[in-house]
Structures are given as C-alpha cells and as structure tokens.
C-alpha cells in the first residue's frame, strides 16, 4: 500500500484559533507575541497609578490644606506630618549657605571630614536599642585658578548656589595650594565628596557646557549625583515649569474675559 501523499498546509501564526493553540503547545509554531495594545494599556495603568501615588509630591503645607475637602483626612494628615518632618530635616541640615575659601591645612577637616556628616536620630531613638544613622553631606569643591575664565565662571555659580542649597557645602581652594604644581590646564577642577569619598570629578567645565555653563547645568549635575531630588522646587527647571504653567493659566483667563467666556471649575482644575 502506497503512502498517502502529504500536502503542505499554510498556517497563519497570528490567528487566534484552536488549531494554532495545538500547534503552539507542540512547539510547531512560536507563541504569539504579547499584544501591543495590552502592553500599552498596562503601561498606561501603571503611569496613572504612579501619578496618583505621587499626586501630593512637591506641594507645600498651604497646598495640602487646600486639599482637605478632596483627600482622605487621615491620609492627608499623615502626608502633612511627613512633609513637616522633611522641612524640619532640611532646616536642620541647612547650615552652610556660603562659599568657604580654605587653605591646604584645612582641606581634611573642611572637606573630607565635613562630607562624613553627622549622626541623625530616628523616631525610634527613644528606645535604648535603637539604631542611629549617619547622614552624609555633599561637598562641592572647586580647585580654582583666577586667571582661567571657566574658573571665574564656576566661582560665580558657586556663589549663586550656596545660599540657595544651604544643606550642600561649597568649598573653593586655589589649585596649587591644594596640590603642589597642579597643572593649570586642569583648572577649574570640580570634585564632589560624599561620606568621605570623591563620587564625581570633573576637569574643566567641558562636561557641563564649557564657557557657556549655566546654573541649570550645575543643578543638573547636583541631581545626577544625588545631592538634590529632581522634584525639588528650588531647581530652576522646576521653577520655570511652575511659572510657565501660571502664565498659561493667566493668559487663558485673560482671553476668556475678553471673549466673555467664563472659566469653569473643570477648566481651572486642568492646571492643578
């Protein structure tokens, strides 16, 4: 008896059929790739959930008080206490506020030791067996050379940032006083210390923007090394976003008044 002739059957692997399920189970055709729509919906759901979780981030105490009618009272009270604790902690750490000009004998104390920070007591410190934690200090060090344009620029930026971020220590020392025969071509040199270690070093400002380095560039570095949270309201980029949003809101209100159209509460909520 002759074998039955075999016919090649074309299979559309993308079809969601019972036959294709059998073929997939037997490994004859590959598993279906995940649906892009499902992935997009999942990502969107995660984004919405994260946005909801972080909806109070960046708001000050007065903002939180305005939300009393919209948020769960117990949750809002807990969050207000958290924000007050953060503010108190920041005020405790805000002890610098100026650029410290030092000499070589002071280097270890004013930079390395200063970056070690101090012991911070936690809420559990009332108990005898509680553990305190050491909180480091970010110290930004400028090895300077007055004759260099970029060095003068960095000095100027340091003096703008120091009173703005008072929990960060900004230190300046003439390069050849810190390191004998330090090459002039390496100036300015920017070092970032934290907990006794150099966590970032930069020769000249090329990485930041060279002669065009701006305060926003240095703030971006501060965020990158972890000295500042990227949502910090003191950052120029965050201040500009708030100002732009407020300007847009005022412009819309002005146009509405001129056209005789009154903004509804829903329109106003769009900007919140």
Same structural domain, 181 and 244: no
pLDDT score for 233: 86
Q: Are residues 199 and 153 in the same domain?
A: yes
Q: Which residue has the tokens 């005022």?
A: 250
Whether residue 100 is contained in a domain is answered as yes
Q: Are residues 208 and 259 in the same domain?
A: no
Q: Which of 257, 254, 247, 252 is nearest to 268 (CA)?
A: 252
pLDDT of 197? 94
Q: Is residue 28 part of a domain?
A: no
* Preceding omega of 241 cis (within 30 degrees of 0): no
Residue 249 lies in domain: 237-269
Using the structure block, give the residue that is written with the tokens 């060090």.
141
Do 191 and 147 fall into the same domain?
Answer: yes
Does any domain span residue 197?
A: yes
Cβ atoms of residues 196 and 115 within 8 Å: yes
Look up residue 86 and give its two tokens. Answer: 């953060």
Let me know whether 73 and 148 are in one domain. no
Domains of the chain: total:
3
- Shared domain for 182 and 252, answered yes or no, is no
Kindly report, residue by residue over 150-174, the tens digit of the pLDDT: 999 999 999 999 999 999 999 999 9
* 76-113 per-position pLDDT tens digit: 566 666 666 555 555 555 689 999 999 999 999 999 99
pLDDT digits (tens, 9 = 90+) for 240-270: 765 565 665 566 656 555 555 555 444 454 4
Q: Do 113 and 222 fall into the same domain?
A: yes
Q: Is 18 among the domain residues?
A: no
pTM for this predicted structure: 0.57
Do 100 and 203 sit in the same domain of this protein? yes
CB 199 within 8 A of CB 121: no
């Amino acid at each position: 008896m002759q074998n039955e002739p075999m016919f090649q059957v074309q299979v559309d692997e993308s079809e969601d059929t019972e036959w294709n399920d059998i073929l997939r189970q037997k490994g004859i055709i590959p598993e279906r790739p995940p649906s892009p729509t499902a992935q997009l919906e999942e990502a969107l759901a995660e984004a919405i959930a994260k946005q909801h979780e972080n909806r109070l981030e960046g708001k000050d105490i007065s903002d939180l008080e305005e939300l009393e009618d919209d948020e769960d009272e117990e949750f809002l009270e807990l969050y207000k206490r958290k924000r007050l604790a953060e503010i108190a902690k920041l005020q405790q750490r805000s002890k610098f506020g100026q650029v410290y000009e030092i000499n070589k004998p002071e280097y270890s104390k004013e930079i390395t030791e200063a970056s070690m920070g101090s012991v911070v007591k936690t809420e559990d410190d009332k108990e005898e067996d509680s553990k305190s934690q050491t909180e480091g200090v970010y110290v930004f060090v400028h090895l300077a050379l007055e004759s260099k344009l970029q060095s003068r620029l960095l000095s100027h930026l340091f003096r703008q940032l120091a009173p703005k971020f008072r929990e960060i220590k900004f230190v300046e020392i003439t390069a050849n006083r810190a390191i004998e025969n330090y090459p002039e071509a390496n100036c300015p040199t920017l070092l970032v210390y934290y907990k006794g270690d150099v966590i970032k070093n930069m020769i000249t400002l090329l990485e930041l923007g060279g002669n065009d380095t701006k305060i926003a560039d240095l703030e971006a570095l501060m965020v990158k090394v972890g000295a500042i949270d990227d949502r910090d309201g003191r950052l120029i980029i965050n201040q500009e976003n708030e100002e732009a949003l407020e300007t847009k809101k005022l412009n819309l209100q002005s146009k509405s008044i001129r056209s005789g159209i009154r903004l509804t509460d829903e329109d106003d909520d769009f900007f919140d």
